[in-house]
Amino acid sequence: MQLTRDQWGRAATSRSPADPRCTADLGAQYITLSPGCAQRHRSFYDDLLAHGILKPLTAPIKGMVMKEGSLNFMTPQGTSSIAKHYLRESGADVFYEHHVTQIYLRDGKWEVHEEAGSSELFDIVILTIPVPQILQLQGDIVNIINGSQRQQLESVSYSSRYALGLFYEAGTQIDVPWAAQYITNNPCIRFISIDNKKRNIESSEVGPSVVVHTSVPFGIEYLEWNREKVQQLILEQLEIVMPDLPKPVNIKCQKWRYSQVTTPVPSCPGQMTLHINPSLICGGDAFTHSNFDGCIESAMCIVEAIKSVTVF
């Protein structure tokens, strides 16, 4: 059976083929508002809270280290609901599954080619894909990226990990005293979440789901392995950690080749303008840091860069 997935970067929510109401966040697990960003980003959080996209995280997370002044939130409809909310609010026409391979400068516009062979012209192009994928793009962009920019981009590094989503039938009981926990004594598993419990969703009609994140060392060691073999290794370790866990009806194994940024672009500028007019701009967590506040910060920097050279 085919699992469906709503994914914008690591805001990935997978759905069980047996029941699309049974979901699991295979990427970001919860949202943390750090005290240093509380005032600057407050309007974003207030908006998401007002629309029910975010709610305070009240479920017990075993082993979580809280920084003083930080606030944690969860997404009742999955982390992908954040991106969906902003896309709805924007009114933009959104197109999916377009694999961009080449970018050319044509008469004051950007000609963007995709793998399927088609191309389209744009006034502005913003790239928020992982930096190694930016560097793989072909066309005029290869020469537009200057030596200093290329050196900075090549210095960016990421961690890698796997995530497992386990989906259960309605009525299945997973009896543990926590909604999620960090694991410190296992060679494979770093984090486990009873995802519906983390979101305070208890339903007799919808089955529970469990999310397992591997450690970064495990992810790096098995990065190029067959996914089915990696899935089996994770399940074997999960049985050791949770021997009474029921058998799921469906399993999804997700490889995060680019999980979190370990070395961002020097000085964390928020964005990098590769070309001013027409604008070609890079952004995302590689230019700030790998959390929601980092995404907001980069987005704000990109908007300012566009406004500085564009007449509306």
pLDDT band with cut points at 50, 70 and 90 for residue 310: low
pLDDT, tens only, 120-176: 999 999 999 999 999 999 999 999 999 999 999 999 999 999 999 999 999 999 999
Per-residue model confidence (pLDDT) at position 1: 34
Q: Which helix (H) or strand (E) holds 167?
A: strand 161-167
- Same domain assignment for residues 210 and 296: no
Q: Which residues of 95-130 are buried (b: 16+ CB within 10 A; e: fewer)?
A: eeeeebebbbbeeeebbbbeeeeeeeeeeebbbbbb
What percent of the chain stands above pLDDT 70?
96
- The mean per-residue pLDDT over the stretch 10-32 comes to 92
State the total domains in the chain. 2
- Same domain assignment for residues 177 and 57: yes
As given in the structure block, the two tokens for residue 30 are 């919860």
Per-residue model confidence (pLDDT) at position 63: 94
- Evaluate whether residue 208 is within a structural domain: yes
As given in the structure block, the two tokens for residue 196 are 């519906």
Using alpha carbons only, what angle is made at residue 115 by residues 112 and 118, rounded to the nearest 5 degrees?
Answer: 55
Q: What is the mean pLDDT of the chain?
A: 93
Instruction: Determine contact, residues 166/209, Cβ cutoff 8 Å.
Output: yes
Does residue 3 register a pLDDT over 70?
A: no
**C-alpha atoms less than 13 angstroms from C-alpha of 228 in its C-beta half-sphere:** 0
- Pick the last residue of a domain from 231, 246, 262: 262
Residue 61: beta bridge partners?
180
pLDDT, tens only, 209-258: 999 999 999 999 999 999 999 999 999 999 999 999 999 999 999 999 99
- Same domain assignment for residues 143 and 288: yes
Does residue 6 register a pLDDT over 80?
A: no
